[in-house]
């Protein structure tokens, strides 16, 4: 046990008095969880503001303290890798890859909503990542969503793998905190993109290294 001092992560009055940048706090927080999700596949499952403290270190510096380690989720290795691939596809808006991964996740036709859920743009968007979508896109989204019934929503949620539901809940809580901190939208998108690319490439590197070691081992046997 350890007693940790600090204030709630979204306590803006405290951050101002301590001369700590809310945007830097937001960036540190989302990079921390990006690393958990995309690289380690071991995720704190309840990141509400009461479970995250900012501990000042003087001169605008700080540490983040995570409390309540009772709910963690170890992501399935294949799911983690596929989720890395999904975010790479979302950033580049690779429609074919998004739909292909949607089939792997078991959501079928509902995969077209992944860009909207995670990045705030449609699958056929012409808007730059992290910017506001056009009025035309908003109208199209409204019409599309109005055509969905409760059966569609239930079918989508029920078809998601359990790991995906954990990610959605965690990401929802984090987005709320980032909103309270006034962080620009691109902070989360860039952090997730960086971690997704690293998580995917690290897996590829490990697989290549393993294959090399197996070849070496076979050579030694011969």
- Burial class (CB within 10 angstroms; exposed 0-12, middle 13-18, buried 19+) of 38: buried
The answer to whether 38 and 80 have CB atoms below 8 angstroms apart is yes
Query: How far separated are the first and last CA of the chain, in Å rounded?
Result: 53
Catalytic residue chosen out of the listed positions 10, 11, 19, 46: 46
Answer yes or no: 46 catalytic.
yes
CA–CA distance, 140 with 127 (Å, rounded to integer)? 14
Which residues are known catalytic residues? Answer: 46
């Amino acid at each position: 046990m350890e007693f940790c001092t600090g204030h709630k992560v979204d306590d803006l009055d405290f951050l101002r008095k301590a001369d700590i940048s809310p945007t830097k706090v937001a960036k540190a927080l989302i990079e921390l969880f990006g690393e958990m999700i995309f690289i380690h596949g071991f995720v704190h499952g309840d990141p509400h503001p009461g479970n995250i403290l900012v501990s000042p270190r003087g001169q605008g510096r700080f540490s983040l303290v995570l409390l309540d380690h009772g709910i963690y989720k170890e992501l399935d290795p294949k799911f983690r890798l596929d989720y890395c691939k999904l975010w790479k596809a979302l950033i580049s808006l690779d429609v074919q890859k998004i739909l292909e991964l949607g089939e792997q996740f078991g959501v079928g036709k509902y995969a077209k909503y992944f860009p909207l859920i995670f990045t705030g743009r449609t699958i056929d968007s012409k808007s730059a990542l992290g910017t506001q979508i056009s009025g035309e896109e908003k109208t199209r989204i409204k019409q599309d969503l109005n055509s969905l019934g409760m059966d569609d929503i239930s079918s989508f949620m029920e078809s998601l793998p359990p790991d995906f539901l954990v990610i959605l809940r965690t990401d929802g809580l984090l987005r709320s905190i980032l909103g309270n901190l006034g962080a620009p939208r691109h902070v989360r998108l860039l952090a997730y993109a960086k971690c997704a690319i690293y998580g995917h490439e690290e897996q590829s590197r490990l697989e290549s290294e393993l294959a090399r070691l197996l070849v070496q081992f076979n050579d030694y046997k011969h």
